[in-house]
Structure 1
Amino acid sequence: MTLDTEPFTVLMPVYDGDRRRFVRRAFESATREQTLPPTQVVVVRDGPVRPKLQKLLEKLASTPGVDVDLVELPQNVGLAAALEVGLEHCDHEIVARVDADDVSLPHRFAVQVPLVTGGYDLVGSAIVEIEEDEAEWGRTRTPPTTPDEIERYSRFHDPFNHPSVVYRRSAVRGAGGYETLDLMEDYLLFARMIAVGAQVANVPEPLVLYRVGAGAYARRGGTRLLRSELRLQRTLRDEGFTSRSQYVRNVVVRGGYRLVPEALRKAAYRTLIVRERSDGDERTQVLGVTDFQGD
């Protein structure tokens, strides 16, 4: 079967904290293992890295049969700025995001890229949590799937799993691109894309194995993240994306989440989204805001 697709670029940022084994696995899964391989790969080295990781990046850059552009930033600038630089080096309009410690399932791009070719500006998917062993699948994070569901959900929560998205570079540019905001730059970008009319969708099938480390919940709390959360909510309110009541709810609920102890934060994250099946439909209940995720 011949897929109706455009050429596309994989964009993968790497920094010194990434593990070599995971970086190699992420790269291989997004290139040689894909049934629809990318036309180009842009690897952004976000600042200096240790010698062994640098050697691996140079080896990946010379992978036979894969067009790899290794962009080496002299200083660590953070994810948002690194992605902005990476987008400048992408040769193609369609860009697939890949994180340096995740695994793209072999049919990922064969599913998502034709959807973007067909008219969508932004397409994400469900993801499955993994830890060290990618064969041991954990919980599945299933986002809302239709444009209406995504728009509703986005007033409270990021409606896309960032490591799973494929988008049009022009749509990202049209929304202002990535803005530095700790752990929330993707949410801000996607909200702005929705606000300016981007055509969006999520695939309910998991297409990415998302690696959850021991410190995943610790990184999502504390005063630093609270400041980031408050800035996000002010921006969304100032730009008219959320109403006054939605702003108050988000500050109280999402802001409070940043301040509770890590054990409670982990429990809260896993219970904020309650899935229940009824007549074959799957619903996601988020603090009283119900979004349908079935057909």
Structure 2
Amino acid sequence: MKVSVVIPVYNKAPFLREAVDSILLGTFTDLEIIAVDDKSTDDSLEVLRSISDVRMRIIELPQNLGPAGAANAGMDAAKGDYIVRMDADDISVPERISLQVAFMDSHPEVGASGGSVKFFGSEKHAVELPLTPDACAAQLIFGVPVSQGASIFRRSVLEKHALRYDPAWPRIGEDWLFWLRMARHTQFANLRSVVLEYRRGEQNIGHGRDKAVDFAPLQRAAFEQLGIPFTSEELDLHLMGSTIFKITPTLDRVRSLRAWYDHLIALNASSAFAPQKALSERVEEQWDKLFYHLPKYGLVVAIAHLRLNTRWTIAQLAYALKYCAKAYLGPTPKA
């Protein structure tokens, strides 16, 4: 068998049939679906049982193990050469698995890959992830290199290196830690094509949660796995650079963040936790993204960013001035 699609399920009855059908009705057919019911308290199990397809397998867990434990149970039961991950409330595009299998077959050096993700529901936009192995390696310092729900990976890599999700980790971010462990043994890549439609709404596990509370321990664990020494202040600065504002951006903190980013680039030259060129480009990309979140903290903070940025543009300056003018003067009265 070529592909095992692992779908952990917990209380997703309203969306479950659409998610499963998006796989069963897709263009790729040499597959099995392993739906792992994580002791749901709604009608999820009944929905799964109502699906009549010989490619469907259902695992009923005797107790709730959480996303990591349910995913591990599905991967342990997988028979396919490739494992495809899928969330129980998302929709795979019809050609998703065909595209991903073709890519993996033609890139044996890549152990896991994904593709672009299109959000729908309470948010509507598309997200592209880094395409090349070097860019994915550099991304690991800031977050996931591959979207978990859009991923495909080789079962042989998991078995050879005994890779599993950490069931002891809280319910947010187990995928980032999983990719960090996998990165020691293989490479990542992404397709530019959209392969998954990701449903945004109250059913998401991270809905309504404080990002700083969830991401601070995750970022700490990522630094530790990558072998990057850091202080608590540097951790907060790095989160600020990722637009997770545990601390408020100020003039001094923007300057300190730039110094931290320069330090990371210099440290990588000797530690090599990512390819140097790719890391430099990814750091500068994140630095540029931060700018558009700064004007609301004051024009002086945004200008400080521009003064530290050798690549600033007139458009960025205009954005800062326009934002501050609107904030301080209010909208222009209509004639």
TM range (shorter): 0.7 to 0.9
Residues 149 and 97 (structure 1), Cα distance of their counterparts in 2 relative to 1, 3 Å cut = same
CA distance in 2, matches of 1:79, 1:44: 10
Instruction: Decide whether the 8 Å contact of 2:5 with 2:33 is kept in 1.
Output: yes
Q: 2:178 aligns with which of 178, 184, 189?
A: 189
Residues 238 and 220 (structure 1), Cα distance of their counterparts in 2 relative to 1, 3 Å cut = farther
Give the drift of 1:150: 0.8
CA distance in 1, matches of 2:92, 2:139: 25
Could you say which residue in structure 1 is the equivalent of 2:3? 8
SS of the counterpart of 2:137?
helix
Q: What TM-score results when the alignment is normalised by the length of structure 1?
A: 0.74
Give the drift of 1:220: 6.4
Give the drift of 1:192: 1.7
Residues 248 and 82 (structure 1), Cα distance of their counterparts in 2 relative to 1, 3 Å cut = farther
CA-to-aligned-CA distance 1:264-294 (integer Å, 9 cap, x gap)? xxxxxxxxxxxxxxxxxxx99223589xxxx
Instruction: Decide whether the 8 Å contact of 1:175 with 1:193 is kept in 2.
Output: no
Could you say which residue in structure 2 is the equivalent of 1:56? 47
Give the drift of 1:169: 2.2
Give the drift of 1:37: 2.3
Matched, 1:123 2:109: no
Q: 1:40 aligns with which of 32, 35, 46?
A: 32
CA distance in 1, matches of 2:4, 2:171: 25
Could you say which residue in structure 1 is the equivalent of 2:295? none
- Structure 1 unaligned runs (5+)? 1-5, 261-282, 291-295
SS of the counterpart of 1:286?
helix
More strand by share: 1
Residues 219 and 250 (structure 1), Cα distance of their counterparts in 2 relative to 1, 3 Å cut = farther
Matched, 1:165 2:151: yes
Matched, 1:252 2:240: no
Q: 2:124 aligns with which of 100, 121, 138?
A: 138
Give the drift of 1:204: 1.0
Could you say which residue in structure 1 is the equivalent of 2:260? none
SS of the counterpart of 2:285?
strand
Matched, 1:73 2:87: no
CA distance in 2, matches of 1:72, 1:146: 38
Q: Which has the higher contact order (CA 8 A, sep 6+)?
A: 1
Instruction: Decide whether the 8 Å contact of 2:37 with 2:44 is kept in 1.
Output: no
CA distance in 2, matches of 1:208, 1:246: 37
Instruction: Decide whether the 8 Å contact of 2:216 with 2:235 is kept in 1.
Output: no
Give the drift of 1:115: 2.1
CA distance in 1, matches of 2:246, 2:80: 41
SS of the counterpart of 1:186?
helix
What fraction of aligned residue pairs are identical, expressed as a percent?
A: 24
Matched, 1:24 2:17: yes
Matched, 1:178 2:173: no
Q: What TM-score results when the alignment is normalised by the length of structure 2?
A: 0.66
CA distance in 1, matches of 2:100, 2:208: 29
Matched, 1:86 2:77: no
